Structure 1
Amino acid sequence: MKLPPLIIGNLKTTIPIIQGGMGVGISGYRLAQAVANEGGIGVISTVQIGYREPDFETNTKEANIRALRKEIRKARKLSPKGIIGVNIMVAISDYEDMVKTSIEEKVDIIISGAGLPLSLPRLAVGSDVKLAPIVSSGKAASIIIRSWIKRYNRIPDAIVVEGPEAGGHLGFHLEQLKEGKEHLDDIVCDVIKTVNSLKCEKNIPVIAAGGIYTGGDIVRFLRLGASGVQMGSRFVATEECDAHINFKRAYINSRKEDIKIIKSPVGLPGRALRNKFIQEVEKNRIVPCKCYNCLKKCDPNKTPYCISEALINSVRGKIEKGLVFVGSNAYRIDKIVKVKELIGELITEAEDLYVNDKAVNLLKW
């Protein structure tokens, strides 16, 4: 028995998997098109996407817009029938430009977090692009849905629920993460309950994200009522991932004790490898050489380091001089595989469990 498809409006996947958007440059067109061609939703991260453009240092904003167009077009060319999305952080300074460019390039879906995307529908008026905010609580989901209905007479086409085991920036206070009382299973159920209580005119699919690693994890969240899952770290150690081989090897060589919660210049806690760079930052401030004006709330005179420079170093393979974001299960990855192989493994395991689950329920009935 096959897993149910993920249906978001008129978009329909053959597998209920969204590939997470990972920046800077970790999930570009190569990874997105590969996932889309296997029946999932491939996602390009927009944050500082123009880092390879020749004028990035002197013309950052325009370089990012130009690069985003290129990445979307390349992904679409390689996956003309696949579903291609973008991940746009609310916290970035060129948020509106990234949204408008993505819409002009006719992406299928915009996934937006790192803040509440309350203005997103205004930027998408007149387009058929699907909008999916990222939340970390039922309360956040309620605020977004109510605001969108009141201001734009629109509801989200899907909601991504990101839990505390995700990689990168996390939508939780440091104290919450230390207490360990927040669990993705509970948050997903809370968001589903919230969505149902609002009695919207159409169904809002809920997608679970953060620390999802196996086919068994996929089935667990389908059982809870989620319509699909979003996975990031699993796709890093693939041949098609856009990162340097050294970045992928950092995942493969990592140990559980290497994965730590760090303080990011964004003002949010984040999950990353405690490598040489992080150890140095813990001791001394690394004064930025320049400001890329990448984040709305970053003060270059106070920031402990330049997050753009740190992430660009990592994606280029300079791991010991860069920030390596990882999910909580990254240490379990032990080899680099093709996207097709990874998805095949996940779906085979999930479908075996899904069949058994259905059989047990039929016997109970």
Structure 2
Amino acid sequence: MEAAIGLKPLKIGNLVAKHPVIQGGMGVGVSLSSLAGAVAKAGGIGIISTAQIGFKDQDFGKNPMAANLRAIHSELKKAREKAPQGILGFNIMVATKEYASYVKEAVKAGADVIISGAGLPIDMPKFVAEAENENGGSEKKERRTMIAPIVSSVKSALVICRMWDRKYHTAPDFVVVEGPCAGGHLGFSREQLTELGADTDHVAETFDEPAYDKEVRGIIETVKSFAEKYKKHIPVITAGGIFDHKDVLHQFELGAEGVQAATRFVTTEECDADIAYKEAYINAKEEDIVIVKSPVGMPGRAIKNKFLERVAQGPVKVERCFRCLEHCNPAETPYCITKALINAAEGKIDEALLFCGSNAYRCEKIETVPEVMAALCGE
């Protein structure tokens, strides 16, 4: 199995992806079965976001948790139908209320991989092991779910690896490094983004790439030490600002064995979001992409619109709590992030939080997933 010239297939445990490209998880409703299935069919790794994944369920308003857990199974099943031989999994935010239940349900549904960020997934190995034991059967080893934390610094990588080592005597199956040019929630403080020149409206000109490249190399070395201890191969996947083949090659030069791209897949025919959301990317200018404060408690990157202008004037009253975040008080939050993201997925652009990566303004047209995959891999 060969990928494009110069790029090797991505091997994670017993999984082998023809192309070393993971499609980043985007919620609410941006990367569901359609997008993830298409990416897996095209030879990459397709990721479904569990963030309010059941928002289309008729019972979501009454019992969002139950709707979400059901949707984990139904969305993965639909993605498998599109890519029977493909590699598929979930992105699950640590900040999610009832995080353990989501992880266990993803394992029981048959996820090949689980990627977790928006917090430190300290106990993910425990939840996965419990779910696999509950599944039981002779297929247990064959169906083992590969797991990865999302880290942004040497410090966070070291904390996760040490905790997994000490508490569960294990190491990650792979590690995703998400840099400051990524979309959605960022694993950096506003001060760190400023230091790296990644908080401006012109990140392409101000981002201190050499400084963060050094951090990426440090993370790779940190992970390597735990790979040696556990005598296993732990590939490091880099993310954040990956838009074209040149970006991919640069990450491989740093020592990465794969990349995770999200923004580039939004403007595809197969993306699950409404066409209005995709057109918001195509119509965005570089100065429209800004850093916002999310109710999750960390900075995020989004497209400036009427909704953000409204939020800047004061809190938007929360009419109903969907119990999505572990640390969210409806009486104090500046707005309901679930409602704002559902509006985005449904194309209600003026009432939506439009998460995006720093390169969203470079999206010029609607493409297909195979076309994006070919561009990233230099075919």
TM-score, with length taken from structure 2: 0.90
Counterpart-to-counterpart distance in 1, 2:48 and 2:215? 26
Residue in 2 that maps onto 1:189: 217
Question: Which consecutive segments of 4 or more residues in structure 1 shift more than 4 A?
Answer: 181-184
Match of 1:268 in 2: 298
Query: What RMSD in Å do the two structures reach over aligned CA positions?
Result: 1.1
Which of 234, 240, 253 is matched with 1:223 structurally?
A: 253
Once residues 318 and 368 of structure 2 are traced to their aligned partners in structure 1, the CA distance between those partners, rounded to angstroms, is 37
Which of 60, 69, 78 pairs up with 1:56? 60
1:213 deviation in Å?
A: 0.6
Provide the aligned length of Structure 1 versus Structure 2.
349
Structure-to-structure mapping, 1:1-365, within 5 angstroms:
1-125=5-129, 126=132, 128-180=144-196, 183=209, 184-198=212-226, 199-200=228-229, 201-348=231-378
Query: In the alignment, is the contact (CA less than 8 A) between 1:161 and 1:187 conserved in 2?
Result: no
Deviation of 1:78 after TM superposition, in Å, equals 1.4
Are the aligned partners of 2:25 and 2:48 in contact in 1 as well (CA < 8 Å)? Answer: yes
Q: Quick check: 283-292 or 183-192, which moved more?
A: 183-192
> Secondary structure of the residue that 1:161 maps to in structure 2?
strand
**What corresponds to 2:201 in structure 1?**
none
Q: CA shift at 1:2, angstroms?
A: 4.5
- For the 8 Å contact 2:23–2:261, the answer to whether it is kept is yes
Unaligned runs of 5+ residues in structure 1 are: 350-365
SS in 1 for 2:308: helix
Identity level (%)? 52
The answer to whether the 8 Å contact 2:173/2:235 transfers is yes
Rounded Cα–Cα distance in structure 2 between residues aligned with 1:175 and 1:140: 17
How far residue 178 of structure 1 moved from its aligned partner, in angstroms, is 1.7
Tell me if the contact between 1:8 and 1:205 (Cα under 8 Å) persists in the aligned partners: yes
Distance 1:196 1:106 in 2: 28
Query: Structure 1: which amino acid aligns with 2:221?
Result: K
Structure 2 stretches lacking a partner, 5+ long: 133-139, 198-207
Say if 2:72 and 2:109, in contact at 8 Å, map to a contact too. no
CA deviation vs aligned residue, 1:82-127 (integer Å, no higher than 9, x gap): 0001000000002111111110111100000000000000011145
Deviation larger for 145-154 or 14-23 = 145-154
Task: Determine if contact 1:244/1:317 at 8 Å carries over to the other structure.
Answer: yes
Work out the CA distance in 2 between the residues paired with 1:267 and 1:174: 11
Partners of 2:301 and 2:36 in 1: CA distance: 23
Deviation string, structure 1 residues 50-104 (Cα, Å, up to 9, x no partner): 1100011111110111111110111011111000010000000021111111101
8 Å contact kept, 2:10–2:257:
yes
Q: Which moved more, 1:200-209 or 1:329-338?
A: 200-209
* SS of the residue 1:110 aligns to: strand
Contact 1:163–1:187, Cα closer than 8 Å, also in 2 = no
Alpha-carbon deviations, 1:218-257, whole Å to 9, x = none? 1111111101000000000000000000000000000000
